Structure 1
Amino acid sequence: MRATVRIVLRKDYTKQDGKQQLALRYVAHRKSTHIGLGISILPRHWDKNASMVRAGEPLSFRYNKYIKEIEQRAVKLVLDNHNNPLPIPKFRELLFEKTESHTDFYDFITQELEFLQTDRRKGTIDNYKKLINTMKLWKPTLLFSEITLDFIQSFHKHEIESGNKQSTVYKKHANFKFLIGVAMKKELITKNPYDNFEIKKKIKAENNDVLTEEEIETLYKVYESNVYTKGKQTVLRNFLFACYSGLSYAEYDIVTYADLKYYMVDGHKCLLLCNERYKNNIPYRIPIVSDKVKALLGSGKDFQKIFTVLTNQPTNRYLKDIMNEQGINKQVTFHRARHSFRTIAAQKGIQENIAERIMGHAEGNDIKDIYTHLQDEDIIREMLTKWVA
């Protein structure tokens, strides 16, 4: 069956200002995907029949120029592979492929980030850009041929000597490894130097990695008392929900009230927050079984976002202030909420595969779940019987 492409306005994701995302829908081998174009407009500014942004949108000319370019590339890929449609990953790769030659890694990756931002969060792209700017200060130019194991080790040494924490340095390595992978897909780098360099994912903290249930309860009482206003109260609400649910920071700007499902389990009215992680497209199922956690959700219309999200820097700054003010002597970042959830879940005896499913880890979403009949009700019941906060 021949593949098809079409520019569409996605109605399943609506921002607070009412704008919706434009995407390229690609259908092949009876599977479809939506590839974001990085463009959000009001529904009234979209001409569905002409596949164009109407003149009422101030950036309509620029948007339409980009849409036309993407659509022409997509149609060409479909026609070039008429008898054997491209699989979705290959189509996506070729759609954003550049043909220009490159010698400097920084120049190459800067151009690639323009395309990566169409289907990756702004915060993630900002982290990549920040990394490149940091590396430029240390090494202003970087040829592809210079990206070797010796270079990786020298970069590691430089970052440590600059006073960065090991956990921070290894996060930079993880980002750099991803960017090298982008270059490898274009065959600009033949061997990944990280094959011989271990990126340590967990750096043991000295009693400051996770919060206890008692500390989380203390923070909840502070939240209920409305001691804080505006930014701090918003951050505290988000952080507490992550402690009780394991929801990743990257998902907070995505989830809407439409992602909540209602269930009656053993006579209890429960909620299940269902979506896919932005990072890896792996589904998660988060049971909300206590009135305390339900209160953190609030209420709203289906299209409305559940949470208000601050950027990473002020979020962690507010968390540091809150911990100091409440006498919690731990170096807490927002991600520690997920660590806290996972640790407490283990202490309470939550089944490992269910905890992994809740958090959206690959381990808990294996095909084995199909054969063990792991259902939404099972996930809810596990939390209901072992952890009602």
Structure 2
Amino acid sequence: MDAFVSVVCYKSKTLSNGESPLMLQVFLHGKRKYKSLGVSINPKYWDFSRNKPKPGCPDGELIQKVILDKVSSIHKSILQLNAEQTDLTLSRLFTENEKPSKRQTVGEFYLNLIFQLQADGKTGNRKVYVGSYNSIKAYSEGNTDLQFSDIDADWLSGYERWLRSKGNKETTISLMFRTLRSIYNKALEARCARKSDYPFDRNKISKFDVKTRKRALAKADILRIMRLDVSAEKRSIRLSRDLFIFSYLTGGTNFTDIANLKTLNISNGRIIYLRQKTGKQINIQINDEAAEILNRYNSGVCQRGYLFPILDARIHRTAQQKEDRIHKCLSRTNKGLKYIARLAGIDFSLSTYAARHSFATVLKNSGVNVALISEALGHSDLTTTQIYLDSFENRQIDDALKNLL
């Protein structure tokens, strides 16, 4: 008797991300067994009559790929056990299927990592790997079943030419190559690839020219933006200016980190938080100007749960909801900053990221130790930055920040 294999959405269980897990379901000899696929989905995107993602499901194509791969793997295990004339039982079937395979394809390795990041709530990193996966899939004309040994010098050269032919800028090409290298390194660690095949020792990613146009404002321009009268402007414009200045005054705080700030992050006139990107603790003094900005938005903190009107704890509960909201607000803020630059008469493509660069540049031009600046920004080599970071006291950083105004 053959086993009946399907995948179901276990909607009676809700995970921390607000989604329900997808379960592999196997019927055999009147018995049934479930096993998690390690993938979750919002039940509203699941077709329960056909047991597949609905059209328009976010990441539906990736989810369907995982489903097909797992079902195919179970069927192969059934054939293997039958060929060996072994009694087919659910226990033997799952044991056979769970044997570690070191022959994962590049596509399989990507998908496993992507859904692990989703389960861990690391939506930012997940987004980068999804973009890389889709890029490689497009270059390979839909075929992601290549082995890591197939990615050699010729393959990389062809991939680079293809990226350039699509009009990608140097920074994007560098990101695609760095992400692919990261995947390859993770595959080496998992023993799914061989070091002898490693193509990045000779194909250095440092060859890409990732220098970008000037992103830092002079102190005089920063002060002009701070003193700009925006009282007659709409609320979103005033908020854009405040977020920019607050970031500049608090060590170039990243927009995502600002969005996640809560009352508990304020203690004794200081902001203390963990960077979303690196997990590093930041402890920085709040000067009078930054405190004034915080006070403007205090009235809604109890309702929202956050210091700034970006996230709302009543609405944005899952990691994906937070990421989507932050992305939308970041786009609107950067649009507002372009308008503010024109109001201030500054010929500059103003963005939230410019606040970080301006913070660094103004302090550097004031003679502040570069290691102190790197600490707050996490620029360049984060490992080296970390070594410097632990050797400085908050007092030294506080003294450095006095150079900002």
TM-score, normalization by structure 1: 0.63
Shift of 1:159: 1.6
CA 1:184–1:101 in structure 2 vs 1: closer, same or farther (change >3 Å)?
Answer: closer
Contact 2:265 2:272 in 1 (8 A): yes
**Which residue identity lines up with residue 237 of structure 1 in the other structure?**
D
Q: Which secondary structure does the structure 2 equivalent of 1:378 belong to? A: helix
Cα distance in 2, alignment partners of residues 376 and 246 from structure 1: 16
Partner deviation per Cα, 1:323-373 (whole Å, 9 max, x = no partner): 256334334553333222111110122222322232345444327845xxx
Match of 1:242 in 2: 247
**1:95-114 to 2 correspondence within 5 Å?**
99-100=100-101, 102-114=103-115
Shift of 1:133: 1.4
Match of 2:334 in 1: 319
CA 1:367–1:315 in structure 2 vs 1: closer, same or farther (change >3 Å)?
Answer: closer
Aligned mate of 2:231, from 221, 225, 232 = 225
Matched, 1:296 2:293: yes
Contact 1:286 1:359 in 2 (8 A): no
**Which residue identity lines up with residue 39 of structure 1 in the other structure?**
S
Matched, 1:204 2:201: no
CA 1:343–1:60 in structure 2 vs 1: closer, same or farther (change >3 Å)?
Answer: same
Deviates more, 1:113-122 or 1:214-223: 214-223
Contact 1:342 1:355 in 2 (8 A): yes
Q: Which secondary structure does the structure 1 equivalent of 2:173 belong to? A: helix
Partner deviation per Cα, 1:183-236 (whole Å, 9 max, x = no partner): 222111223433333334873334x32222233334334585362434x55444
| Percent of residue pairs bearing the same amino acid type | 18
Cα distance in 2, alignment partners of residues 98 and 287 from structure 1: 53
CA 1:190–1:369 in structure 2 vs 1: closer, same or farther (change >3 Å)?
Answer: same
Shift of 1:111: 2.2
Contact 1:356 1:363 in 2 (8 A): no
**Which residue identity lines up with residue 190 of structure 2 in the other structure?**
K
Q: Which secondary structure does the structure 2 equivalent of 1:196 belong to? A: coil
Partner deviation per Cα, 1:98-140 (whole Å, 9 max, x = no partner): 9356543123211221112244531331222122112212212
CA RMSD of aligned residues (A): 3.8
Greater percentage in helix: 2
Match of 2:16 in 1: 39
Match of 1:135 in 2: 136
Match of 1:162 in 2: 166
Cα distance in 2, alignment partners of residues 248 and 342 from structure 1: 13
Cα distance in 1, alignment partners of residues 158 and 221 from structure 2: 41
Cα distance in 1, alignment partners of residues 351 and 202 from structure 2: 30
Consecutive unaligned residues of structure 1, counting only runs of 5 or more, are 1-36, 42-57, 70-96, 263-270
TM-score, normalization by structure 2: 0.60
**Which residue identity lines up with residue 143 of structure 2 in the other structure?**
T
Shift of 1:305: 2.5
Cα distance in 2, alignment partners of residues 223 and 147 from structure 1: 56
Match of 2:186 in 1: 182
CA 1:152–1:254 in structure 2 vs 1: closer, same or farther (change >3 Å)?
Answer: farther
Q: Which structure's CA Rg is the greater one?
A: 2
Q: Which secondary structure does the structure 1 equivalent of 2:225 belong to? A: helix
Q: Which secondary structure does the structure 1 equivalent of 2:205 belong to? A: coil
Cα distance in 1, alignment partners of residues 351 and 186 from structure 2: 29
Q: Which secondary structure does the structure 1 equivalent of 2:143 belong to? A: coil
Greater percentage in strand: 1
Contact 1:284 1:359 in 2 (8 A): no
Matched, 1:193 2:190: no
Shift of 1:59: 5.6
CA 1:111–1:365 in structure 2 vs 1: closer, same or farther (change >3 Å)?
Answer: closer
Contact 1:319 1:333 in 2 (8 A): yes
Partner deviation per Cα, 1:303-323 (whole Å, 9 max, x = no partner): 932332644466246525632
**How many residue pairs get matched?**
293
Cα distance in 2, alignment partners of residues 381 and 98 from structure 1: 58
Aligned mate of 1:329, from 326, 336, 347 = 347
Cα distance in 1, alignment partners of residues 253 and 124 from structure 2: 17
Aligned mate of 2:386, from 365, 369, 374 = 365
Contact 1:256 1:304 in 2 (8 A): yes
Contact 2:256 2:276 in 1 (8 A): yes
